[in-house]
């Protein structure tokens, strides 16, 4: 018997609405406007777990492989890595300079600097 039910992953960031819009363009879903504010936004994703975005004015982005530990990252399955890469970069993602396994998965950072991967499905 479990103690709790998993609700969502929450990402600290300087601009919750803007980062929610970025991820909404990546995975779809709907912003839960009833609980949204300048400090908190919840993106409800029909196919999986929700993502929350919490304002942190002192937020410092992690540095994947070169500095502060990343602590966590998100993985997204895509049928075609090249098409997925073009799409997320057009939305404002940045491709990481280090790509350990670019034929299987690729590392990016979102507009607030959180690392995430596109994984070949």
| Tens digit of pLDDT at every position of the chain (121 positions) | 766 677 789 899 999 999 999 999 999 999 998 888 999 999 999 888 899 999 999 998 887 777 666 667 788 999 999 999 999 999 999 999 989 899 999 999 999 999 899 999 8
At 121 the three-state DSSP class reads coil
In this structure, are 52 and 64 located in the same domain? no
In this structure, are 53 and 65 located in the same domain? no
CATH of the domain at 49: 3.30.720.120
Tell me how crowded residue 23 is: count the other CB atoms within 10 A of its CB: 23
Parent domain of 19: 1-58
pLDDT at position 96 is 94
In this structure, are 34 and 91 located in the same domain? no
DSSP state at residue 36? -
In this structure, are 97 and 119 located in the same domain? yes
d(CA 76, CA 61): 20
d(CA 107, CA 44): 24
| Confidence (pTM) | 0.82
**What domain count does the chain have?**
2
DSSP state at residue 41? E
């Amino acid at each position: 018997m479990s103690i709790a039910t998993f609700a969502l992953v929450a990402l600290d960031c300087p601009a919750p609405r803007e980062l929610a819009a970025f991820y909404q363009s990546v995975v779809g879903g709907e912003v839960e406007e009833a609980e949204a504010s300048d400090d908190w936004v919840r993106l409800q994703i029909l196919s999986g777990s929700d993502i929350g975005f919490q304002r942190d004015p002192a937020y410092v982005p992690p540095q994947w492989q070169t500095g502060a530990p990343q602590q966590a990252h998100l993985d997204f399955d895509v049928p075609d890595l090249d098409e997925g890469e073009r799409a997320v970069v057009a939305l404002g993602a940045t491709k990481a300079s280090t790509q350990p396994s670019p034929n299987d998965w690729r590392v990016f950072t979102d507009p607030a600097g959180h690392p995430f991967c596109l994984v070949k499905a």
